[in-house]
Amino acid sequence: MGTTLPADGRWTWHVWLQTILISLVGTLLLRMGALAVFDIPAEFTPLATVGPTIFLTVLGVAIALAVALMVGQSASQPVQLFRRIAIVALIVSFVPDAWMLTEGAAFPGATVPGVITLMLQHVVAAFVVIWMLTMRGQQR
């Protein structure tokens, strides 16, 4: 495995587009499966329509790609640093989801299956980003 991120260069746009699309497909498939299997209330807005999944997945992946660009241009060991940043960001991303289940959140329709689905969507997107930028990218 190499020590660079596919953060810039001729094929960057290709890797970035693939990363966004694969993340979207993964999170949307997870959402669809969870809605088919679990009784997730319709008033739970993060999963009620595909809009939040699409918007937040694209936003999160775009931020991760921007971080990869910065890390790739400035770090001496960008792959290792990016992996660490991505894992920490994933863990931090669970906090607002878990908070939805507390009394203070007052988030209509929040159930354990719904919140776990959101957390798993974060895991799927993070896995795709990490794989595309630190493992798959090294195979070229």
Residue 72 inside a domain? The answer is: yes
Which pLDDT score is estimated for 22? Answer: 97
Question: Which domain covers residue 34, as residue numbers?
Answer: 12-139
- Give percent of the chain with pLDDT exceeding 90: 71
- Give percent of the chain with pLDDT exceeding 70: 88
- Contacts of residue 122, defined as CB under 8 A and 6 or more positions apart, other chains included, come to 60, 90, 93, 94, 97
Residue 2 inside a domain? The answer is: no
* pTM of the predicted structure, to 2 decimals: 0.88
Q: Measured between alpha carbons, how far is 72 from 66 in angstroms, rounded to an integer? A: 10
Q: Measured between alpha carbons, how far is 137 from 5 in angstroms, rounded to an integer? A: 7
Mean pLDDT of the chain: 89
- Contacts of residue 70, defined as CB under 8 A and 6 or more positions apart, other chains included, come to none
Q: Measured between alpha carbons, how far is 12 from 33 in angstroms, rounded to an integer? A: 32
Which pLDDT score is estimated for 102? Answer: 87
Residue 24 inside a domain? The answer is: yes
Q: How confident is the model at residue 100 (pLDDT cuts 50, 70, 90)?
A: very high
Q: Measured between alpha carbons, how far is 22 from 79 in angstroms, rounded to an integer? A: 20
Q: Is the pLDDT of residue 115 over 80?
A: yes
Residue 6 inside a domain? The answer is: no
Name the least confident of 13-27, 74-88, 98-112: 98-112
Amino acid identity for residue 84 in this structure: R
Q: Looking at the 3D structure of the chain, how many domains does it have? A: 1
Which pLDDT score is estimated for 140? Answer: 45
Q: Is the pLDDT of residue 138 over 70?
A: no
Residue 99 inside a domain? The answer is: yes
Amino acid identity for residue 5 in this structure: L
Count of Cβ atoms closer than 10 Å to residue 44 Cβ? 19
